[in-house]
Structure 1
Amino acid sequence: MGEISIKINIADRVYPLKVNMEEEEIIRRAAKLINDRVKEYQENYAVKDKQDLLSMCVLHYATSALKAEKRVGVEDTEVAERVYHLDNLLSEFFSK
């Protein structure tokens, strides 16, 4: 599919983007998540500067992404260990 032009509003600023049609929904959802998080920080903290709110938002999502990456790495390691163990068991079983 082709590229389309869209406008995304983040923290009261409009950003024109060209995106693949398949990515449009994801990008719009991401912008909504960012705006919701900025609004939450604005309501719960004495921060009014949009740059500070966006920085807090970026820190939140970067931390979440790193935690998810670490979790996936641990799960991949556990799966690899189990597959290795099963392979050894099967090898022992079939070598008898």
Structure 2
Amino acid sequence: MGEISIKINIADRVYPLRVETAEEEIIRHAAKLVNERIKELQENYAVRDKQDLLSMCVLQYATGMIKAERSAQQHEEGVEEKVHELDSLLTDFFKK
């Protein structure tokens, strides 16, 4: 599709980016989520430094990503095990 230039505001700073057209909506949504999370952290904790708020936000998102990756991996392993069981059942069935 091609690249476009956009400006993203995160924690009151503007970042010019060149992104694929198809990714623009995702990037804007991600920036919105980060800003909302920073606002929540700022309201709930006595932290005012933007760098600290960004660090806390990144840590929360990274933790969530790691949990999701582990969950997906466990799910894949479960599916793989079921496929092997099904394969064994079918092999036994067709041997008869």
- With the length of structure 2 as denominator, give the TM-score of the two structures: 1.00
Matches within 5 A, 1:14-29: 14-29=14-29
Structure 2 counterpart SS, 1:70 = helix
Structure 2 counterpart SS, 1:27 = helix
Matches within 5 A, 1:25-64: 25-64=25-64
Tell me the distance in 2 between the aligned counterparts of 1:19 and 1:29: 14
Structure 2 counterpart SS, 1:30 = helix
Structure 2 counterpart SS, 1:47 = coil
Query: Structure 2: 5+ residue runs without aligned partners?
Result: none
Question: Over aligned residues, Cα RMSD in angstroms?
Answer: 0.2
Identity %: 68
Structure 2 counterpart SS, 1:8 = strand
Q: Which residue of 2 aligns with 1:94?
A: 94
Query: Structure 1: 5+ residue runs without aligned partners?
Result: none
Runs of 4+ in 1 over 6 A off after TM superposition: none
Deviation at 1:10, TM superposition (A): 0.1
Structure 1 counterpart SS, 2:19 = strand
Deviation at 1:56, TM superposition (A): 0.2
Q: Which residue of 1 aligns with 2:2?
A: 2
